[in-house]
Structure 1
Amino acid sequence: MRDDAHRIPPLRAGRRPAGRALLGWLADERAPRLCRVAGSPGSGKSHLLRWLAEAGSDPAAPDGRRVRAVLDGERLTFDAALWLLGRQLGHLVRTPDDLLAALADDGGRTVVCVPDLGRAVHPSQLVGQLLRPMVELENVRMVVEAPDGGAAAAAFGDAVAGPAVLDLDLPQWTDRERYADWAAGLGADPSGYPSPGAATGPAERPGHASGRELIGRVPRHPDGTPDLPGAGPALLGALWTAAAREESVDSLLSDPHLLVYADPVAVTAALDGLEGALPRAWATAGPALVGEDDPGVRAAALRTRLLGMDADAVERLAAVPGPWQPVWAMWPDSSFGWPGPVSGLAVGAARYAGQLLLADPSGVIRTVDAASGRPLARVARDEPGPLRGMAVGSDGSVLLLDSRGGTSVVPDHEGAPAAAALGQALDALAEACQGELSVLTVYGPGIPAVADDSGTVCWLRADGVVVEKLHEGPVTALAGTSELLVSGGFDGTVRLWTAAGSGASAAPFDARPAAVGALAAADTVDGPVVAVGWADGLVRIRPASGGDVREVRFGSAVWALALTDGLLVAGTAEGVAAVRY
């Protein structure tokens, strides 16, 4: 099927009427926001929803038909569903309220497909606590596989003044002639009309094999050890499901490789409600694990969360090749200590050389050894309070931007002339900016730069203050190197320019449909490098001149970033972590 430039994949077994009915439901602004696809086993419910998801994934699909998220109900838990939805919809969420608020702010239509909802771990909980509240939002359309009489259908009830119901057992949704041609082409029985399963026989579902049977199916290396990558995520996921059913999950936790090579949705279900370092680390890193296809990425994210928690698991997971290597971290209950949430980071200079400055949400500033994370001291402030920004000048003076948009300087020592000059420069920049200051940084030999909530960046050049509007909405992050300045905005764009030049390029350095939450930039032997953290938890590290991009996810929103000596350091609501990229 084809609708103008929008390619619609073929829908066989005479199901075009059902497909057109779904497309018509999406096109009708007056239609119910929920469509429930019903029918007996073998009637093609899952196939129809996956067809709609494929059709809606075409970039040429009209906005109203574009499917933004697909949740496969098989083994799905509440947590896994929340993490998957957040990842697919571009938000890092920990609670349904987080997701609902983000969706309400999005404004545009969000279409969600949920095949096999009845095979979720707790369908009623999933519907009652997540899916039904979602579909009550005016900008959400949801199509779910939920047959009459099932727990999922009952949990939806008459959501949003009653759902539309597409019952595939009713003959009007199947073209009899096309059904007969399809059956004849397969040598199947056309008398099964309108059910494809009645013609071909129902699709076989994998049985409940025992854990012992599933272990026997895992291939082996020549030395007899299990080949977990060769086993594949589906088989290992089934092993976790069997272990949960047989109450033998502890036996699998003895090999952390089983966590990262298995289907992460199945692992999440098996670990649900368990205590211990590994289940806790999995739960905190969950948004970076569920929905991630690369076992190496999952291993790196899980190792980062296990630092200071389970040294044996960290060492064993190091054997899984990953795109980055965790070096140190401080989380709650970590043996390395815990500074609390970290909302600001700055690379030290002069007396702070080799150190990082960490600010918490209340404005307390601590120093740690950059290479190891070892706590060192605190930075004394005359007027403690929450901070929006923090940077360190080349003389060791600490530049601060408070929560009211005011600037101050903590000098390297009492009455330092350089600190007074920095204070004067900050005052001049604040006066030149058009709005309330939102971020600050230093570049070159410790020269300050600031930006504001109107999208304007202000920096010093030899001929005076430069003022340029670079973003739509507030500037949310700012970073500098010896020659470059980098800004990120609520608009999701990142701009980069030479501070001595005429201003930022018209083309963004990077852009994504999420607000920029943090930036860092550093000079390296190969040239300047920039790290960008967006609000959905993705961090990208790339050379300022272009080239290979390294992506990192910690499973948390990143509040602050720093680049120092080949390390990426991230401040989050749970603590701080440093990884070698």
Structure 2
Amino acid sequence: MSDNDWNNERLDQDLQFTVVSSPLRYASETEHPVEYVAAVTPEGEITGYLWWSDVDGAAEFARRPAVDSWNAGSFWYGKLLEARASGLQPSVAVRRLLTEPGSATSGRLDPGSRAVTSLPALTELAAQGWQPPADRVKPPGWRPDPPLDPERSERAVAAGGWLYRTDPGYDPAGRVPPRAVAGAWEVSPGGRLLRFWHNPEYGTAPAPVAPAGEGVPVPPLRAGRRPAGRALLGWLADPLAPRFCRLAGSSGSGRTHLLSWLAAAAPPDNPRADRRVHAVLPAEGLTVRGATWLLAARLGLVARTPAELMAALQDGVPRTLVVTDLDRAGGELLPGAAERIAVDLLTPLLQVPWLRLLVECGSGTPAAAALDGAAPAGAVLDLDDPRWTDPDRFASWCAGLGGTPVAAGQVHPSPGLARLAARTPATVLDPAAPPADRASALAAAWWTALPEELRPAVRALAAGPVTAGLWAALPGAGGADAVRRAAELVPAPADGAAWRLQPDELAARVAAGSPAVGHAGLVRSIADGVPRLAGGRPDLAQAGPERLGTLLRHAVPAGIAGQLLADPEFLVHADPAAVTAAFEHAEAAGEPPGALAEAWELAGPACAAGTPAGRAAALHAWLAGRDEEAAARCAALSGQAWTARWSYRRANGQVRRTTLGHGRYAGRLAVAVNGILRHVDPVTGRDAEGTDPLRLPSVPSVAMLGGADGSYYLLRTDGVVTELPLHDSFGNSLSRALDWATRHFADGVTALATRGEQDELVAVGDGAGRLHCFPTDGGPVLSPDEPLHRGAVTAVGLALSPAGGLALSGGRDGRVWSWAHGSGRAPELVDERPCEVTAVAAAGTAGGLVTVAAWSDGLVRVRRPDAAGPALDLRLGGQARSVTVDRAGLVCLALPKGVVALDLD
């Protein structure tokens, strides 16, 4: 991601250098003998030696590195600075310091230990018992990023921005076990390396193969389609089969019905692991955005863009995805949507070695060309090929259709043609003709035989699929009786929901013999059928998403969609796919997006599969501070008790982390956007005045925390802590404690937290699922007896509760634990969900303790342990990468495209 938001007017000014003097200090070296006294803790441990020599005006504190009293040197160093600033001779300064009580960590100077020696000898004395610091411990499974050479970069660009690194002997385009895939390089369109995504399953032992078992019962497959069904089940079970299969066939060939059967025969929880479909994406009417949002939701993930979905799928988990009706993507509003979905969404997915894709897409289309080009070794199952339909069973099925007797040999192998033939007077078709030609001939005969009085009802279907109830309300349809009679002659919908003219040749024939669709008239008729409230206002909640979606689809070509898209209540209750397509149609037409359009895009993943109340809550969060009137309306529609105070985002910005500022940044919220650390006023949600942005190191991080003095610390993926020190800082206890932690926990450091305002305590999560708490003054490490998590800890938090100190931990196993570490009580399991925890936070507020946990599927759960009532669940359209709670109870969620601040009361 680019750092192009690094804008500071000071960078345009001429450089002006000013010599700044450092504080006065005593000399730190001498060749003359030195006097010294020991600093001793109340427990009798020597923390170091304070030495001086008036001959050279020298004085220094020699800390004993063998003692874990990190503050000792800082304390006496500061006292010597004060004495030098007062102009005291070293010996006079020491006499005064002998009366200094010191602290538990620095120790007190012992006059009885006074002695004389040389400085080298004293240095050797201080070093006794000291061992070189241990190497920093890498978390289990950590691996360095492999380099990307220009040739691989070009290949990654050609493959849609992703290139996988596999063990020798494997072809990334073929079937590769996840354990043999090291990971993937992600590159920009220009070939710049964005990140290497390590596969957590790389190098693991093969999972034991469980017995196949019975699995769920396979539902019957009629119309002679058992050969096709067996082929698809075989493709699922065959480890050597191509990872991509395109299901082709003419309109009416039964492609969607076959895939619906497959999904029922292979549910994601099927006891037979080789017979599972993990997600089905019905692409009809969808755009790239809508398809991405919905597919992620059906996989139990959250993603705004194809790149985010790809990132979420770099977990090494085998999945099988099915896409239906790709040819109908975008509808009439965005006819190029199918190709765009194929190129922008599905082509990158085809590169993932542990994914299998089965896509319904007719041959000879731009989308099919894109998919076949991206997976040249893929399979194609064309239902127009007679071998996939048993002729005898097909004939038996045709005989049971009723109506006009069907000559099965003339319509084989198309179920759609058979259904239409059963509703058409006897017509002779050429069995050798292509299915499309036979469909055109049959459609012409059907239309000719249709009673004149029923033609208006059928013409009403030419405008697009509608439900049975809405069909009768369309202008010119002739009313319920005409629709009922027409429905007996129109092939019934396979899904039992929306009526449409099928096959496509029938729709084309009806449209050719009908006047142009009057979209404005359709809008009025559909709107007239919307239920009304007592005051006469439309009752959009009762209208249903299908009716409102159809209304919007006709309002766009009628040029009157703007008023609908400007109504938050309409957006909340309408079909999300129709809303997304309408906004994208307006964007393609060059209309500048308003606040609602921007909020819809940001909240999209929560809107695609959420409830009306959930959509209203997500829109409210992103509208806060942008359009207060619309935000208030969405808040009322959501029914939530919380209120969004503001939302913060920057153009083209990707939010990485957030944490509360302290010290000189107290009262500010630190937000890492791209490669810049900014400070935000938590009251207004705007950039805080008087603070300059800070450049962040270009390393992937898993946590960010702030020290009491205003320093910031980043925990890297390799378990190393990188400090952003203050310019006048000479180290502090927190810095040393964090460095110590990275060297002394056997399973590395995977999560970090402090209480911020004070640097007295650190919480550490490690790669083995353990939680640790220890004071920064070198005190004992407290840990539960057993690991709390299966796998690495991914997030930790600290707070003060009425019962004392509280630590939270979240893990890769989806669990959240609470541990009152100061009370001696055992940890308590707070939550458990089937996806990774991405962030936790806790704080004592005026209203009591508040805890927050976030998971990788976008769910955020807020709890008040001291209050009655259920937890508050939020989905705002993205994965919360970090969470903060301040003492006032303001909850700030760092989502990929911005920060949202919530008031709970």
TM-score normalized by structure 2? 0.55
The one-letter amino acid paired with 2:880 is V
Q: Equivalent of 1:553, from 857, 872, 875? A: 875
What is the Cα deviation at residue 263 of structure 1? Answer: 1.0
What is the Cα deviation at residue 190 of structure 1? Answer: 5.9
Distance 1:181 1:522, change over 3 A: same
Are the counterparts in 2 of residues 289 and 555 from structure 1 also a CA contact under 8 Å?
Answer: yes
Distance 1:527 1:35, change over 3 A: same
Look up the SS of the partner of 1:533 in the other structure: strand
Q: Does 1:520 align with 2:841?
A: yes
**CA separation in 2, counterparts of 1:43 and 1:142?**
20
State the partner residue of 2:275: 65
Are the counterparts in 2 of residues 566 and 580 from structure 1 also a CA contact under 8 Å?
Answer: yes
Moved more, 489-498 or 139-148: 489-498
The one-letter amino acid paired with 2:861 is R
Look up the SS of the partner of 1:556 in the other structure: coil
Q: Equivalent of 1:457, from 771, 790, 809? A: 771
Q: Does 1:448 align with 2:771?
A: no
Distance 1:146 1:398, change over 3 A: same
State the partner residue of 2:342: 127
Distance 1:267 1:179, change over 3 A: farther
Are the counterparts in 2 of residues 437 and 452 from structure 1 also a CA contact under 8 Å?
Answer: yes
Q: Equivalent of 1:296, from 613, 619, 622? A: 613
Distance 1:109 1:532, change over 3 A: same
Summarize deviations over 1:167-199 as a string: whole Å, max 9, x none. Answer: 167375357458736864877856556544423
Q: Does 1:486 align with 2:808?
A: yes
Q: Does 1:49 align with 2:256?
A: no
What is the Cα deviation at residue 165 of structure 1? Answer: 0.6
Q: Does 1:164 align with 2:380?
A: yes
Distance 1:155 1:248, change over 3 A: farther
Q: Equivalent of 2:362, from 147, 172, 175? A: 147
State the partner residue of 2:643: 325
Q: Equivalent of 1:27, from 237, 245, 253? A: 237
Look up the SS of the partner of 2:893 in the other structure: strand
Summarize deviations over 1:246-276 as a string: whole Å, max 9, x none. Answer: 3332132232211111111111111102422
> Which 5+ residue runs of structure 2 have no aligned equivalent?
1-211, 331-336, 423-489, 493-498, 502-506, 508-516
What is the Cα deviation at residue 554 of structure 1? Answer: 2.4
State the partner residue of 2:679: 366
The one-letter amino acid paired with 1:313 is A
The one-letter amino acid paired with 1:476 is T
Are the counterparts in 2 of residues 496 and 509 from structure 1 also a CA contact under 8 Å?
Answer: no
Q: Equivalent of 1:540, from 840, 844, 861? A: 861
Q: Which has the higher strand share?
A: 1
Distance 1:504 1:431, change over 3 A: farther
Summarize deviations over 1:262-301 as a string: whole Å, max 9, x none. Answer: 1111111111024222222222222222222x01111111
Distance 1:115 1:340, change over 3 A: closer
State the partner residue of 2:157: none
Distance 1:512 1:363, change over 3 A: farther
State the partner residue of 1:283: 601
Q: Does 1:180 align with 2:396?
A: yes
Measured on the aligned residues, the alpha-carbon RMSD in Å equals 4.1
Report sequence identity in percent.
35
For 1:69-108, what aligned pairs fall within 5 Å after superposition?
Answer: 69-103=279-313, 105-108=314-317
Summarize deviations over 1:307-361 as a string: whole Å, max 9, x none. Answer: 232233223323313445322222337xxxx9984612228699947x6554556
What is the Cα deviation at residue 453 of structure 1? Answer: 5.5
Distance 1:331 1:343, change over 3 A: same
Are the counterparts in 1 of residues 287 and 341 from structure 2 also a CA contact under 8 Å?
Answer: yes
Q: Does 1:109 align with 2:398?
A: no
Distance 1:16 1:373, change over 3 A: same
What is the Cα deviation at residue 228 of structure 1? Answer: 0.6
Summarize deviations over 1:442-487 as a string: whole Å, max 9, x none. Answer: 3599542232563453312898212565556653321022232112
**CA separation in 1, counterparts of 2:806 and 2:252?**
61
Are the counterparts in 2 of residues 57 and 68 from structure 1 also a CA contact under 8 Å?
Answer: yes
Q: Does 1:202 align with 2:418?
A: no
**CA separation in 2, counterparts of 1:307 and 1:156?**
41
Distance 1:202 1:348, change over 3 A: farther
Look up the SS of the partner of 1:303 in the other structure: helix
Q: Equivalent of 2:782, from 452, 466, 474? A: 466
Are the counterparts in 2 of residues 485 and 499 from structure 1 also a CA contact under 8 Å?
Answer: yes
What is the Cα deviation at residue 42 of structure 1? Answer: 3.5
The one-letter amino acid paired with 1:579 is L
Distance 1:76 1:414, change over 3 A: closer
Higher Rg: 2
What is the Cα deviation at residue 365 of structure 1? Answer: 5.7
What is the Cα deviation at residue 403 of structure 1? Answer: 5.0
Distance 1:191 1:511, change over 3 A: same
What is the Cα deviation at residue 492 of structure 1? Answer: 4.1
The one-letter amino acid paired with 2:277 is V
Look up the SS of the partner of 2:541 in the other structure: helix
**CA separation in 1, counterparts of 2:342 and 2:725?**
53
State the partner residue of 1:314: 631
Are the counterparts in 1 of residues 648 and 686 from structure 2 also a CA contact under 8 Å?
Answer: no
State the partner residue of 1:343: 657
State the partner residue of 2:546: 234
What is the Cα deviation at residue 20 of structure 1? Answer: 2.9
Look up the SS of the partner of 2:559 in the other structure: coil
Distance 1:81 1:540, change over 3 A: same
**CA separation in 1, counterparts of 2:218 and 2:369?**
32
Look up the SS of the partner of 1:521 in the other structure: strand
Distance 1:188 1:224, change over 3 A: farther
State the partner residue of 1:225: 537
Moved more, 492-501 or 425-434: 425-434
> Which 5+ residue runs of structure 1 have no aligned equivalent?
none
Are the counterparts in 1 of residues 679 and 693 from structure 2 also a CA contact under 8 Å?
Answer: no
Distance 1:445 1:286, change over 3 A: closer
What is the Cα deviation at residue 547 of structure 1? Answer: 7.4
Distance 1:439 1:24, change over 3 A: closer
What is the Cα deviation at residue 132 of structure 1? Answer: 3.5
Are the counterparts in 2 of residues 366 and 378 from structure 1 also a CA contact under 8 Å?
Answer: no
Distance 1:382 1:12, change over 3 A: closer
Q: Does 1:254 align with 2:577?
A: no
The one-letter amino acid paired with 1:574 is K
Are the counterparts in 2 of residues 528 and 543 from structure 1 also a CA contact under 8 Å?
Answer: yes
What is the Cα deviation at residue 577 of structure 1? Answer: 1.2
Q: Equivalent of 2:891, from 565, 568, 574? A: 568
What is the Cα deviation at residue 61 of structure 1? Answer: 4.2
